[in-house]
């Protein structure tokens, strides 16, 4: 699968922080040559050492190397992206309006579902995301047909990105009687059990969560639930989920998407809930909604692992969305006032599965020989700049293969205009 | 631009498409526009042949929107074109002001060059009018004003502008009254100011001095007001009163006005009525890290509201891409304006109030006689342009191509 070995030359890597009066004033970088072989980073040498090799070289021209990005929450199967513009209607009855719309909409979108999923995957990969988690509708309206379309799209992009599929009973696992459909989806290529608001949508928190757990344990699958339920209703649901996670021994295998209730409670309480979830290895994915944002830095400080996702990219739920994880990280930084060099650079971890080139003390963490060659070359001088400025993506590598962008003269021209 | 030519195959909005009593989309048609003396001289259906005595520029079905207005920027502060630097943490606005003085006095890229860099981004993003604040304070005197004027000179024929003489370090606090007065004589047309309470320490004296300068200089006012809740509201009320007393209605704006986001809806309704009555406009940069004025409510009360980008990578913020359409999209997203009409109605906040379709869905722009100031975008309608931040193909100012191409 992987290309033959090559040297990426003149790659900029972060080597430490520069301090001024005890505060981080900037990031030190240096140029390196990086050997890629068998999908891994196999060697890293300073660029000022002569490189004697027969292996092909490709000049990165000083572009900054970052770990590849992850988009951990998207809906590839019902997007308008790549099709004609259509604004969402006014949702007079909230989520029920949207679910009602899906009755007619999903069958209509089905013929173009695969094509649009592929267009969207292309967009995400161009932006530097090579690990993508998509929530795929599994419901009585489309059955497993959206799953088939998503699987086909994932197959097209095999070798260019790792796509994981959540069997998502959008219309309610219980409410739409989709238990056997989800079970079937897990046998047919979906790897993760989904769900949505056990209280509001399913009307039975305990039964809904139990059913999710049973499905997951039977299929040896991870869990990813959309929980928008507000305030103490949401918090109670998280607590029950944590208890069931512990009972089932499913620590490290459960994710909550949105978890909006964490935005409704005082910081001290949010901190306690974060610790409770972290103890069960439960993780959170946020789309960093501008109107109601959960306190991400606070939760992260309490040990809760948080990832970001784009969620809707122009569909009947929302007309917005860019499909750019780095944009999400930048929005997060702006939202929470992360403006100094260290905070900006460290914000990268939310879109890289926790990997940053430097740790908060400025020690080099990444890359190391032996790491997967999943990386993005960007037109920036450091991670902080990349996040704040949403630096231009020069090239994207997945498992050692270049999957987007271009290294070459054109790129060298671009590097001269780094902002 | 005196040239007369046909801009052909321009997509224009003609009305809303209504299904079951709901707006389901926007209707558009292709038209040819005769551009003469920088104005739209004729609008004809695209099926009609164009007279061949004039040259032709084919817009190839790009959507025309009224060009954009950047109502709040600091051309002299941006660090674009210089090296990257993050924001240095500061304990107070005064510490920040000191840091800024130091950084800007040491930055090697000249102010004019940095300003031109930002103007270029604005022009490419569809902007044809810029209101820029320019710092005046004893250490720099009118140097920044000179440099910004030269940068704007470079963009003559591509955009129009107005300059706010901005005493960033406090009109009273930095004793900059004379400098502001001098700046008004040398090209600035608005008196600026910042937090009369927190920065100047004396809101009454600070506001009085601003108004006095404005009246004497036949200028407008644009006050940066970050002061929160009751303090900010107190300041806005007093400014509104002084505005009416001085007969400055329609010439005064409050930028940021965060306090309007800190009060109850009932109080905001009252403030909206008061601002509309005093002819005081509100300018917001749509911040996402704090509450900001309720733009929809203010519009409903008849207040003139505009959006500006404010900081674009400067000593205050490392963020900002200089795309005013991005800001409009952000405003829509934050406000929950996601349907066709709500999205389209976001546009006038960045066009100085102009929108292709009026409140009733009737064509309001372009009309024969309008300035040929427009931006051609790769979109099917205004709503799409706002939600998707559609790509700008070309910016047209007074009939001439200011940025981009239509080839």
**CB distance A31 to A47 below 8 Å:** yes
Shortest distance, CA B241 to any CA of chain A (angstroms): 33
Cα distances (Å, whole numbers) of residue B172 to B225, B234, B288, B333 = 15, 19, 31, 39
Inter-residue contact B377 to B366 (CB < 8 Å)? no
Chain A contact set for B81 (CB, 8 A): 419
End-to-end CA distance of chain B: 20
Q: How far, in Å, CA of B97 to CA of B234, rounded?
A: 24
The H or E element containing residue B238 is helix B229-246
CB pairs under 8 A between A and B: 98
* CB nearest A23 (choices: B89, B321, B379): B89
* Average pLDDT score over residue span B90-113: 96
Are B26 and B12 in contact by the 8 Å Cβ rule? The answer is no
Q: What pLDDT, on the 0 to 100 scale, is given for residue A409?
A: 60
- Spell out a b/e string for A181-220, using b for 16 or more CB atoms within 10 Å of the CB, else e: bbbbbbeebbbbbbbbbbbbbbeebeebbbbbbebbeebe
CA neighbor of A51 nearest in space, from A29, A35, A36: A35
Q: Do B86 and A344 touch (CB under 8 A)?
A: yes
Residue B361 and residue B17: Cα distance in Å, rounded?
9
pLDDT on residue B93: 93
Contact A387, A347 (CB under 8 A): yes
Within 10 A of A96 (CB to CB), how many other CB atoms are there? 12
The CA distances from residue A151 to A71, A134, A135, A353, B259, in Å, are 17, 11, 12, 23, 51
Q: Which two structure tokens, joined as six digits, stand for B255? A: 């930028």
Cross-chain residue pair B387–A319, CB shorter than 8 Å: yes
Q: Is A339 on the interface with B (CB under 8 A)?
A: yes
Compare all CA atoms of chain B with the CA of A381 and give the residue at the minimum distance. B84
Instruction: State the virtual CA torsion across A331, A94, A70, B333 in degrees, nearest 10.
Output: -20
Report helix angle B229-246 to B265-278, nearest 10: 20
Question: Which residue matches tokens 């099709």?
Answer: A83
Average pLDDT of every residue of chain B: 97
pLDDT, one tens digit per residue, over A263-307 is 999 999 999 999 999 999 999 999 999 989 999 999 999 999 999
* A3 pLDDT more than 70: no
Q: Could you tell me if A160 and A127 are in contact, meaning their C-beta atoms sit under 8 angstroms apart?
A: no
Amino acid B233: pLDDT:
98
The values of phi and psi at residue B221, to 5°, are: -135, 140
Tell me: the pLDDT tens digits for B130-164? 999 999 999 999 999 999 999 999 999 999 999 99
Q: Answer yes or no: do B383 and A319 touch at CB < 8 A.
A: yes
Q: Which residues in A lie closer than 8 A to residue B22 (C-beta atoms)?
A: 89-90
Residue with token string 């209730």: A261
Q: State the angle between helix axes of A145-156 and A95-126 in degrees (0 to 180), rounded to the nearest 10.
A: 10
CB < 8 Å to B332, chain A: 320
Nearest to A294 by CA among A264, A273, A317, A269: A264
Min Cα distance B113 → chain A (Å) is 14
A384 at the B interface (CB within 8 A)? yes
Instruction: Please check the confidence at residue A356 and state whether its pLDDT lies above 70.
Output: yes
A266: Cβ contacts below 8 Å, ≥ 6 apart: none
What is chain B's alpha carbon radius of gyration, rounded to the nearest angstrom?
22
Structure tokens at B159: 């955009």
Residue A367 pLDDT > 50: yes
Joined together, the tokens standing for residue B375 give 């931006």
Q: Select the residue of B81, B87, B334 nearest A340 (Cβ to Cβ).
A: B87
Cis omega before residue B353 (within 30°)? no
Non-local CB neighbours of A169 within 8 Å, separated by 6+ positions: A138, A139, A176, A178, A181, A182, A194, A195, A196
Of the candidates B252, B75, B256, B92, the residue with the CA atom closest to the CA atom of residue B161: B75
Chain A's closest residue to B388, CA to CA, is A320
How far lies B24's CA from each of A89, A100, B15, B146, B240, in Å? 7, 17, 11, 50, 41
pLDDT category of residue A418 using cuts at 50, 70 and 90: very low
**Interface touch B338/A86, C-beta < 8 Å:** no
List of residues 6+ apart from B358 with CB closer than 8 A: B364
- Give the rounded percent of residues in chain A with a pLDDT score beyond 90: 93
Four-point Cα dihedral B377, B383, B384, B385, nearest 10: 30
CA nearest B343 in A: which residue?
Answer: A87
Nearest to B288 among A318, A334, A341 (CB): A334
Nearest to B53 by CA among B7, B5, B9: B5
Q: What 3 state SS string does chain A have?
A: CCCCCEEEEEEEEEEEEEEECCEEEEEEEEEEEEEEECCEEEEEEECCCCCCCCCCEEECCCCEEEECEEEEEECCCCCCCCCCCCCCCCCCCCHHHHHHHHHHHHHHHHHHHHHHHHHHHHHHHHCCEEEEEEEEECECCCECHHHHHHHHHHHHCCCCCEEEEEEECCCCCCCCCCHHHHHHHHHCCCCEEEEECCCCCCCCHHHHHHHHHHHHHHHCCEEEEECCCCHHHHHHHHHHHHHHHHHHCCCCCEEEECCHHHHCCCHHHHHHHHHHHHHCCCEEEECCCCCCCCCHHHHHHCCCCEEECCECCCCCCCCCCCCCHHHHHHHHHHHCCCCCHHHHHHHHHHHCCCCCCECCCCCECCCCCCCECCEEEECCCCHHHHHHHCCCEEEEEECCEEEEECCCHHHHHHHCCCC
Look-up: residue for tokens 């389209």? Answer: B344
Distance from CA of B137 to the nearest CA of A (A): 26
Name the residue in chain A with its Cα closest to that of B331.
Answer: A290
Contact B313 A331 (CB under 8 A): no
> Does B273 score more than 70 pLDDT?
yes
> Would you state the pLDDT for residue A171?
98
Distance between CA atoms of B150 and B127, rounded to whole angstroms?
Answer: 18
Residue partners of B247: CB distance under 8 A and separation at least 6: none
Chain B CA closest to residue A386: B84
* Mean pLDDT on A11-31: 95
Q: Closest chain A residue to B380 measured between Cα atoms?
A: A85
In this complex, which of A88, A335, A382 lies closest to B84 when CB atoms are compared?
A: A382
Four-CA torsion B172, B175, B176, B179, nearest 10 degrees: 150
The residues, any chain, with a CB within 8 Å of residue B180's CB and separated by 6 or more, are B136, B165, B167, B171, B188, B191, B192, B213
Token readout for A286 is 């946020």
CA distance B240 to chain A (A): 30
Digit-coded pLDDT (tens) for B281-319: 999 999 999 999 999 999 999 999 999 999 999 999 999
Tokens encoding B396: 């047209």
Quickly count: other Cβ atoms within 10 Å of residue A325's Cβ.
Answer: 28
Please give the pLDDT value at position A2: 47
Angle at B399 between CA B8 and CA B309, to 5 degrees: 110
pLDDT over 70 for what percent of chain B? 100
pLDDT of residue B50: 87
Contact in structure between B226 and B196 (CB atoms under 8 Å): no
If one counts every other C-beta atom within 10 angstroms of the C-beta of residue B245, the result is 11
Are the C-beta atoms of B151 and B165 separated by less than 8 Å? Answer: no
The pairing of strands A222-226 and A192-196 is: parallel
Contact A319 B25 (CB under 8 A): no
In tens, the pLDDT along B175-219 reads 999 999 999 999 999 999 999 999 999 999 999 999 999 999 999
With a cut of 90, say whether residue A417 has pLDDT above it.
Answer: no
Cβ count within 10 A of residue A320: 24
**Region label for B362, one of left (φ > 0), alpha (ψ between -120 and 50) or beta (otherwise):** beta
Which residues share a beta bridge with A59?
A: A9
Q: String of b and e for A105-118 (b: at least 16 CB within 10 Å)?
A: bbeebbeebbebbb
The residue-averaged pLDDT of A44-55 equals 93
**Which residue, A179, A200, A178, is CA-closest to A258?**
A200
Question: Which DSSP symbol is given to B301?
Answer: T
pLDDT level of residue A21 (50, 70, 90 thresholds): confident
Residue of B nearest to A81 (CA): B388
Q: What is the CA radius of gyration of chain A?
A: 22
Closest-CA residue of chain B to A318: B338
ipTM associated with this complex: 0.94
Looking at chain A from residue 7 to 26, which residues have their Cβ under 8 Å from any Cβ of chain B?
A: 23, 25-26
Q: CB–CB of A340 and B24 under 8 A?
A: no
pLDDT for A1 = 43
Contact B387 A340 (CB under 8 A): no
Q: To which residue do tokens 């970088």 refer?
A: A29
Q: Which of B288, B319, B379 sits opposite A290 (nearest CB)?
A: B288
Neighboring chain A residues of B89 at a CB cutoff of 8 Å? 23, 339-340
Locate B12 and state its tokens: 């224009």
pTM of the full structure = 0.96
Cβ-based contacts of A320 with chain B (< 8 Å): 329, 332-333, 338, 387
How confident is the model at residue A4, as a pLDDT?
A: 73
């Amino acid at each position: 699968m992987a290309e033959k070995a090559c040297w990426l030359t003149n790659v900029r890597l972060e080597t430490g922080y520069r301090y001024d009066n005890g505060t981080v004033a900037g990031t030190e970088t240096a140029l390196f040559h990086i050997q890629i072989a068998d999908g891994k980073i196999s060697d890293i040498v300073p660029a000022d050492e002569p490189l004697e090799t027969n292996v092909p070289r490709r000049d990165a021209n000083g572009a900054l190397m970052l770990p590849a990005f992850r988009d951990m929450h998207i809906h590839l199967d019902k997007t308008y992206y790549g099709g004609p513009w259509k604004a969402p209607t006014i949702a007079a009855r909230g989520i029920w309006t949207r679910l009602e719309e899906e009755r007619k909409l999903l069958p209509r979108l089905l013929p173009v579902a695969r094509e649009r999923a592929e267009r969207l995957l292309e967009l995400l990969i161009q932006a530097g995301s090579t690990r993508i988690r998509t929530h795929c509708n599994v419901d009585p309206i489309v059955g497993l047909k959206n799953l088939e379309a998503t699987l086909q799209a994932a197959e097209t992009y095999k070798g260019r990105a790792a796509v994981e599929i959540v069997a998502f009973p959008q219309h309610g696992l219980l409410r739409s009687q989709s238990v056997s459909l989800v079970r079937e989806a897990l046998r047919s290529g979906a790897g993760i059990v989904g769900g949505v608001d056990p209280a509001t949508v399913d009307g039975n928190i305990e039964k809904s969560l139990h059913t999710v757990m049973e499905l997951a344990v039977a299929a040896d699958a991870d869990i990813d639930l959309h929980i928008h339920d507000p305030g103490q209703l949401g918090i109670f649901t998280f607590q029950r989920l944590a208890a069931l996670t512990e009972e089932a021994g499913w620590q490290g295998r459960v994710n909550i998407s949105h978890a909006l209730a964490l935005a409704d409670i005082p910081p001290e309480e949010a901190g306690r809930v974060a610790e409770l979830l972290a103890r069960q290895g439960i993780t959170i994915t946020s789309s960093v909604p501008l109107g109601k944002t959960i306190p991400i830095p606070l939760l992260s400080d309490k040990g809760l692992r948080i990832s970001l996702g784009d969620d809707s990219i122009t569909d009947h739920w929302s007309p917005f969305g860019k499909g750019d994880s780095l944009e999400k990280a930048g929005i997060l930084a702006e939202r929470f006032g992360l403006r100094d060099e260290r905070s900006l650079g460290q914000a990268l971890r939310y879109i890289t599965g926790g990997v940053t080139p430097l740790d908060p003390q400025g020690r080099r963490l990444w890359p190391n020989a032996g790491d997967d060659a999943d990386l993005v070359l960007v037109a920036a001088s450091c991670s902080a700049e990349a996040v704040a400025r949403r630096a231009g993506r020069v090239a994207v590598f997945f498992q050692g293969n270049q999957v987007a962008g271009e290294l070459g003269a054109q790129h060298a021209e671009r590097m001269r205009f780094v902002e | 631009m005196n040239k007369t030519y046909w801009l052909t195959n321009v997509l224009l909005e003609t009305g809303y498409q209504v299904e079951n009593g709901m707006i389901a989309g926007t209707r558009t048609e292709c038209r040819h526009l005769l551009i003469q003396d920088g104005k739209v001289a004729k609008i004809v259906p695209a099926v009609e042949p164009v007279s061949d005595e004039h040259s032709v520029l084919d817009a190839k079905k790009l959507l025309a929107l009224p060009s954009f207005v950047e109502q709040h920027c600091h051309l002299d502060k941006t660090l674009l074109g210089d090296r990257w630097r993050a924001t240095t943490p500061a304990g107070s606005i005064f510490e920040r002001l000191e840091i800024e003085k130091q950084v800007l006095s040491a930055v090697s890229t000249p102010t004019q060059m940095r300003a031109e860099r930002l103007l270029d981004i604005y022009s490419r993003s569809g902007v044809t009018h810029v209101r820029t604040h320019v710092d005046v304070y004893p250490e720099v005197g009118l140097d920044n004003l000179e440099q910004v004027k030269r940068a704007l000179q470079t963009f003559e024929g591509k955009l129009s502008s107005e300059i706010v003489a901005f005493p960033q370090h406090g009109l009273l606090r930095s004793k900059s009254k004379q400098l502001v007065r001098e700046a008004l004589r040398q090209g600035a047309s608005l008196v600026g100011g910042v937090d009369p309470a927190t920065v100047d320490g004396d809101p009454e004296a600070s506001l009085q001095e601003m108004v006095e300068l404005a009246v004497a200089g036949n200028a407008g006012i644009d006050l940066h007001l970050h002061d929160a809740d009751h303090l900010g509201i107190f300041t806005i009320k007093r400014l509104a009163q002084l505005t009416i007393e001085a007969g400055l209605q329609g010439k005064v704006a409050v930028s940021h006005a965060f306090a309007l986001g800190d009060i109850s809806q009932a109080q905001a309704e009252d403030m909206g009525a008061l601002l509309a009555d005093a002819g005081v406009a509100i300018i917001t940069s749509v911040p996402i890290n704090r509450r900001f004025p309720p733009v929809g409510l203010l519009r409903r009360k008849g207040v003139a509201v505009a959006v500006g980008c404010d900081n674009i990578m400067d000593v205050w913020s490392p963020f900002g891409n200089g795309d005013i359409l991005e800001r409009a999209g952000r405003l829509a997203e934050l406000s929950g304006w996601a349907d066709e009409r709500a999205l389209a109605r976001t546009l006038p906040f960045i066009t100085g109030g102009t929108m292709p379709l009026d409140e009733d869905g009737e064509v309001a722009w372009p009309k024969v006689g309008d300035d040929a100031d427009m931006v051609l975008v790769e979109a099917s309608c205004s709503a799409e342009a706002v939600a998707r931040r559609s790509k700008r193909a070309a910016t047209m100012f007074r009939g001439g191509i200011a940025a981009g191409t239509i080839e």
